[in-house]
Structure 1
Amino acid sequence: MQQENIEHFDLVVIGSGPAGFAAAMRAVDFNKKVAIVEAKHMGGAGVYNGALTSKTMWELSADFAVASAVNRGYRASHLTVDYKEVKKTVVKAAKTKQYQMLSQIETFAYNEDHPEKGSLTLYRGHAQFSDPHHIDIKLLGEDGNVMIHGDYFIVATGSRPRQHPVLVTDGKQIVNSDELLNLKKFPERMLIVGSGIIGCEFATIFSNFNRTEVHLLDRAHRVIPFEDTDVSDFVSEGLEKNGVHIHHTANFRSVKKKKDSLDVVLDYEDGHSRVIEVDVILVSIGRIPNTDHLCLENTGIVPSERGFLDVNNKCALDEFLKCHIFAAGDITGNKALYCVAEDQGRHIVEAIWANVDYPLDYSHLPTLMFFKPELASVGMNESQLRERKIPYKAAYYSNTLVNRAIAMQNTRGFVKIMISDDGKNKILGMRASGPQASAFITSFAYLLNQDLTVEEVLKNTHPHPSVTEGIQECLRLLMGMSIYKPEVFPDEIKVKEWRP
C-alpha cells in the first residue's frame, strides 16, 4: 500500500539530459505529473561537459582560426586568446541552456489548484531504487533523503568518460573531457589518447587556437576507422595541415610525471619506441554508462556485461512491454547521440500514453563530426555496402569546383554519394565535408528516408550560389551528366562502381 507521506508521480525521470528532459516535457503534454531527479549538472552531458560545451569551444576555435588567416586579403594584428576567457564563454553557453530548462520547470511547477494539468518537480540528488515503484533520493547539500513513488520510470542517467587502464586522471596533468575546463591556461604541449570522434574534435579545437602543440595517439592505421579510407585520410590530412602530430599504430606504454611536464613512452607497430614530453594528456577512449549506483537489483533489472540496459524497440526493459521501467539515451548502448536520446525519451512517453506502436529507426541517422572542416554522414558507406554485398556506384565531388565555396575562400571539402547499382539508382548514403555540411545533411537524410531515386531528386533545382550545388553535381555525376567532367579534373571528381 502506498504511504500517504510519499509523493506520487505519474512519471519519474532519473537524469535531466536530452533523453530525460525531452521525456519529461512530452509527458507534460499529456497532462502528467512528472518528477525529474538530477545529481549533477542540469541538462547532463548534452549541455555540460559534452555536446554543447565542446561545440561552443569548437565554434570559438573555428572563428579564431578564420580571424588568424592571412590568405583572405586582410590580416588581424595583435590577435590574442586567453583560455580563462574561452572557459567563461563556454560556461556561459551551458548556463544559458540550463536556465532555459529551469525556466520551463518553474513555469510548469505543480499547482494544487490545477492538479489535472501537466507539472514538473525537480529533485537535486542521487536516486536509488528501493523497489520497482519507489526511489530514494539523497538530496544534494541537505541532510536526509526523500522517497517518491512512480507509476512509470525512465532511467536516463547518461554516460561518463571511460577510464584508461594505465592513465589515472588527476584533473590537472592527466584529464578526461569532463575535466578540460579545469585547465587554467592553454597547455604548450598536449597528447590526446584516442583517435575517435571526440579525440579528433579536441585535436581540431586546440590546434585551431594555435597555442598548443597537439599530439594524437592513433592505435590503428588511421583515425575515424569506422569510415571509408578516403574519408579517414581526408580527416587525417586536415588535422596534419592544422599542425596536429598523429602517431599512427602507436600504443601508450608508460608515463613519468615530472614537476611541470610528463614524459610519455610510445611503442609503434614496427617495433620502435619514442619518448615525447607534454604538459597535459587528454584521455578520450570512449564512454561508459552510469548505471552502477541506481540499486537496479531492487527492481530485478540486470545490466549487460558492459553495464548497459538492454531495451526493446520501445525502450522498455522487458521484452513484452509489461514492465513500467524504461531506459533512454547513452545507457541503452544505442548510438550515443543527442538526437537519439531525445527521440527515445519522447518515444517512451508516446508508447505509454499515446499507444504509439512503431519501433525507432536508427538506420538513417545523420552524424556530425566537428573537425576542420566539419564532416557529416548519413546512411551507409562503401565498407558497409561491401559487407552486405550490395552493388553500388559512388561519386566524389570536390568543393574546389563549387562556386559558393570558392566565394567563401573555403574550398576544402567534398560531397560523396553512394547509390544502388541495380538499375533502381536508390540513394544509399552520403558523406560531406566543408562549410554548412552539418546543416544540409538533414535534408539528405530526408531523401534517404523517402527511398528516392537519383532521377527523382534531380527534379529539384538548387539555388545559386549555394554549397549544396555540390550535392546536385555529385548526383548528376552518378548519372553521367555533370557539368564539370572527371576527365578534366581527375583529382576533384571521381566515380567508381562495385559489385559482389
Structure 2
Amino acid sequence: MTQKKYDLIVIGSGPAGFSAATRAIDFKKSVCIVEANHLGGAGIMNGALTSKAMWELSKDFDIASSVSRGYRASGIIANYKQVQKTIVQAAKQKQLQMLSQIETFSEATDTHGSLCLKYGWARFIDSHTIEIKRKDGIEQIKGDNIIIATGSRPREIPDIEIDQERIIDSEGIMNLKEFPERMIIIGSGIIGCEYATIFSNYKQTEVHLLDRQHKVIPYEDDDVSEFVSKSLENNGVIIHHTANLRTIRKRSDCLEVVLDYQDGHSTVIEVDVAVVAVGRIPNLDNMGLENVNIQTTERGYLDINDVCATDNFQSCNIFAAGDVSGHAQLYSVGELQGRFIVEALYGNQDYPLDYSNMSTLMFFKPEVAAVGLNEKACKSKGIPYKVATYSNSLINRAVAMRAMDGFVKIIVSDDGENRILGMRAAGPQASTLITSIAYQITQKNTLKDIRKNVHPHPSISEGVQECLRVFEGKSIYKPQAFPDLIKLKSWKPEIQG
C-alpha cells in the first residue's frame, strides 16, 4: 500500500485542527487534514456557528416583535424551515471559506506549505501512520507529527434514547420541521440556557428548563445566576429548579416527562420535544489509541503537558488540542492550542499557554460575558477582594438603546495592590466590553493603570469606566442615591460569609 508522507497530520477540522493546519503552512510544512464528518466540526455545524446564528435571528425577531419602543410591526411570522435555511447558509458560507483556503494552498511554493483535506475515519496504526477508512476503501498516510483535534459530542443520559426526532440533543435541533408547541430542555448550563433563550424569543414554544440545582449557571456567582434565571423567566421560560429527570415516556401524541423534586414531590408534564443538554464528551472512540500507548483520563480526555503533547515533548510526536484536551471547551481555547502546538514544533513560540483568563460568552437575553475570577473562585482561593457592580440603566447609551437590563461587575484584589481579577458583564455589547478587561488582567494591571482611560460618549463601555470609579468613590452616580443599581462590597478570608 502506497503511503503518502506529510510533515503534519491533523485529525479533525474544527477550530483546533484548522487553526493548527493553517499555521503550519506558514512554516512551509505539508499538512493533511483528516475529517470524519462536517468540515469545521462542531465549531461550524451543529455547534458554535449554527447556534449563534439561530440566536441572532431569534434576537432580531424578538426586537422586531417588541411593542415597547414606539412602533408596532404587523404580520411578523417566523417559519422554522426558513430559519433553518438561513442558518445552513451561514454554515455553508464558512465551510466554503475554509475550502477556498485549502484549495488556495493545495500546492507548496517557496513562500508557504501545502494543505490537503481527506474525508474519512482516522485510526492510529503506529505513532507515524494513520489509517483513513471511507465507504469506498481504506488509505494509509504517514506524518512526522500528528495532532488529535477530534472535538466532542453531546453527552447522553442513561436510559434515555436520543432519536433526534422527538428526543434530541444539540445535533438534532436542525432536524426539527417546525417550532414545537411545547419543549423541555434538560440541563441548565450554557447550552441549555442558550436554547431556552432562542426558542422563547420566537414566542411560539412553551419552554421548560430543567435545573437540578437551585440556580441556573451554578458555577457563576449567585447574582449572575439569579440575573440569568430572572431574564429567562421574564422571557416566558418555565424553570423547574431542584428537579431531576426520572424518565421520558413516549406517547403517540406527546412525551410524558416525569420530574422528581428535592422536596419529595413529583410532577409529570407533557411536551412535544425534549432537548438533552447535559454537557459534551470527547470524540476518541475507535481511534487506535492503544496502538500508540495513549490512555485517556478518568473523565475520558487526553492528558497533555504544557505544550499539548500526549507524552514527553522531546520524545513524543503526537499532540492534542481542543475539546479532547480536557481544558475549557471553548472555540478560542481550541484555536489557541492548535496554533501553539505548531509554533512549539517549528520554532516560533513567543509565550507559554495561559488558560487563566479565557473569556466566555453566554448568548442569553441579554448576552452575558465573563473573564477571570468570580467571587466564588476568589473565596475558594482565599483571595481578598473588592467587587463593584454598576447597572446598565445608568449608562446613557443603554438608556438610548432602551436596553437597560444588565450590568458591569468588576473584581479587584483587596491587598493594597488593586489588581484587576475578573469581570462579568450582561447586556448589549457585553462581548466587546469583556475584551478590554481581559487585556488588563493579562497585563496584571491595577486600578491605577487604567483609571486614566477616557471612554467615548455615548458608549456602553462607559459602564466599565464608571464601575472602576466606584472603587474610589468617584463615579458620577453614587451608591447612596442608587443603592439597588450601584453596589460595592469586599471580602477577606478572616471575614467568612
TM-score of the two chains, using structure 2 as the length reference = 0.98
Partner residue, 1:165: 158
* 1:147 and 2:144 correspond: no
2:41 to 40, 44, 57: 44
* 1:237 and 2:230 correspond: yes
Taking the aligned partners of 2:416 and 2:30, their CA distance within structure 1 comes to 54
User: SS of the counterpart of 2:120?
Assistant: strand
* 1:128 and 2:123 correspond: yes
Taking the aligned partners of 1:321 and 1:18, their CA distance within structure 2 comes to 26
Taking the aligned partners of 2:351 and 2:468, their CA distance within structure 1 comes to 32
User: SS of the counterpart of 1:406?
Assistant: helix
* 1:310 and 2:303 correspond: yes
User: SS of the counterpart of 1:267?
Assistant: strand
Alpha-carbon RMSD: 1.1
2:378 to 362, 385, 392: 385
Tell me which amino acid in the other structure corresponds to 1:58. W
Taking the aligned partners of 1:155 and 1:334, their CA distance within structure 2 comes to 14
Partner residue, 1:80: 77
Gaps of 5+ in 2: none
Partner residue, 1:33: 30
Tell me which amino acid in the other structure corresponds to 1:27. A
Map 1:265-414 → 2, pairs under 5 A: 265-354=258-347, 356=349, 358-414=351-407
Taking the aligned partners of 1:110 and 1:166, their CA distance within structure 2 comes to 50
Taking the aligned partners of 2:161 and 2:110, their CA distance within structure 1 comes to 50
Tell me which amino acid in the other structure corresponds to 1:482. S
Taking the aligned partners of 1:373 and 1:186, their CA distance within structure 2 comes to 22
Query: Shift of the alpha carbon at 1:306?
Result: 2.2
Taking the aligned partners of 2:314 and 2:229, their CA distance within structure 1 comes to 45
Taking the aligned partners of 2:153 and 2:238, their CA distance within structure 1 comes to 27
Tell me which amino acid in the other structure corresponds to 1:128. R
Map 1:49-198 → 2, pairs under 5 A: 49-110=46-107, 114=109, 117-139=112-134, 142-198=135-191
User: SS of the counterpart of 1:432?
Assistant: strand
Taking the aligned partners of 2:117 and 2:34, their CA distance within structure 1 comes to 6
Query: Shift of the alpha carbon at 1:435?
Result: 0.3
* 1:458 and 2:451 correspond: yes
User: SS of the counterpart of 1:243?
Assistant: coil
User: SS of the counterpart of 1:56?
Assistant: helix
Taking the aligned partners of 1:238 and 1:272, their CA distance within structure 2 comes to 26
Query: Shift of the alpha carbon at 1:319?
Result: 3.3
Map 1:426-445 → 2, pairs under 5 A: 426-445=419-438
* 1:496 and 2:496 correspond: no
User: SS of the counterpart of 1:488?
Assistant: coil
Contact preservation (8 Å) 2:433, 2:464: no
In the TM superposition, what whole-angstrom CA distance separates every residue of 1:362-408 from its partner, at most 9, and x where no partner exists?
11111100000000001100111111111111111000000000000
User: SS of the counterpart of 1:35?
Assistant: strand
Taking the aligned partners of 1:117 and 1:490, their CA distance within structure 2 comes to 60
Taking the aligned partners of 2:284 and 2:87, their CA distance within structure 1 comes to 28
Query: Shift of the alpha carbon at 1:355?
Result: 5.2
Q: Give the percent of matched residue pairs that are identical in Structure 1 and Structure 2.
A: 62
Tell me which amino acid in the other structure corresponds to 2:137. G
In the TM superposition, what whole-angstrom CA distance separates every residue of 1:120-143 from its partner, at most 9, and x where no partner exists?
11101111111111011012xx42
1:215 to 208, 217, 221: 208
Query: Shift of the alpha carbon at 1:247?
Result: 0.2
What number of residue pairs does the alignment pair up?
493
Map 1:475-494 → 2, pairs under 5 A: 475-494=468-487
Taking the aligned partners of 2:388 and 2:351, their CA distance within structure 1 comes to 34
In the TM superposition, what whole-angstrom CA distance separates every residue of 1:50-73 from its partner, at most 9, and x where no partner exists?
000000000000000000100000
Taking the aligned partners of 1:487 and 1:357, their CA distance within structure 2 comes to 48
Taking the aligned partners of 1:456 and 1:120, their CA distance within structure 2 comes to 44
Contact preservation (8 Å) 2:425, 2:433: no
User: SS of the counterpart of 1:130?
Assistant: strand
User: SS of the counterpart of 1:223?
Assistant: coil
Q: Which moved more, 1:415-424 or 1:348-357?
A: 348-357
Taking the aligned partners of 2:277 and 2:58, their CA distance within structure 1 comes to 19
Tell me which amino acid in the other structure corresponds to 1:71. S
Q: Which moved more, 1:319-328 or 1:57-66?
A: 319-328
Tell me which amino acid in the other structure corresponds to 1:170. D
Query: Shift of the alpha carbon at 1:321?
Result: 3.8
Taking the aligned partners of 1:458 and 1:384, their CA distance within structure 2 comes to 25
Query: Shift of the alpha carbon at 1:357?
Result: 7.0
Taking the aligned partners of 1:301 and 1:120, their CA distance within structure 2 comes to 27
Query: Shift of the alpha carbon at 1:179?
Result: 0.8
Partner residue, 2:192: 199
Tell me which amino acid in the other structure corresponds to 1:463. P
User: SS of the counterpart of 2:389?
Assistant: strand
- Runs ≥4 residues deviating over 3 A: 114-117
Tell me which amino acid in the other structure corresponds to 1:16. S
In the TM superposition, what whole-angstrom CA distance separates every residue of 1:75-100 from its partner, at most 9, and x where no partner exists?
01111000000000111100000000
